[in-house]
Amino acid sequence: MLSSHLLAEVEKTCDGVAIVDRGRIVAQGTIAELRDGGGTHLLIEAEPIEHARTLLASSEAVSEVTDEGGSLRARLTDPAAVSELNRRLVEAGIAVRRLEPVQASLEQRFLEITSRFEEAA
């Protein structure tokens, strides 16, 4: 058993994880299960970026679009929609330089999970 706030090390060392928030286990499973619970994300670099943000946000296949310093991160509701999103961006005249699926880290998932509980309290 390892108890640590260094989640990058936990991710490299452990097979199973329990996330504890205010003394309660709020999530538990393998590293892969917890990371995959965040859904599929895409990192997108495109011009014009504002037009890309608007198009992505209007898609039913995207549940959230956030800025990542010059690029966008889109959380997908449908992982199979990547090629369709790319097609829509290109057909809208948006120059797509990068469209890369990304896996959330354990630390990102920890923050998502615990902040959900803070918002509900």
pLDDT recorded at residue 119: 61
In Å, how far are 30, 42, 81 from 76, measured between CA atoms? Answer: 22, 8, 8
- Domain total of the chain: 2
Among left, alpha and beta (phi > 0; psi -120 to 50; other), residue 111 is: alpha
**Closest listed residue to residue 30, CA positions, set 20, 21, 19:** 19
Residue 117 confidence (pLDDT) above 70: no
- Indicate whether 29 and 70 sit together in one domain: no
Same domain membership, residue 83 and residue 69: yes
One-letter identity of residue 67: D
Identify the pLDDT of residue 79: 82
In a domain, 59, yes or no: yes
The answer to whether residue 121 sits within a structural domain is no
pLDDT band, very low/low/confident/very high, at 107 (cuts 50, 70, 90): confident
Residue pLDDT, tens place only, 76-96: 988 889 999 999 999 999 999
- Does 2 reside within a domain? no
In a domain, 86, yes or no: yes
109 and 93 in a common domain: no
pLDDT at position 120 over 60: no
2 pLDDT band (50/70/90 cuts)?
confident
The answer to whether 74 and 62 have CB atoms below 8 angstroms apart is: yes
Res. 16: pLDDT tops 80 = yes
Most confident of 21-30, 34-43, 104-113: 21-30
pLDDT, tens digit, for every residue of 32-79?
A: 888 776 678 899 999 999 999 999 999 999 999 999 888 999 989 888
Q: How many CB atoms lie within 10 A of CB 77?
A: 13
Residue that wins the pLDDT comparison between 120 and 68? 68
Query: Residue 22 is part of which domain span?
Result: 7-35+105-116
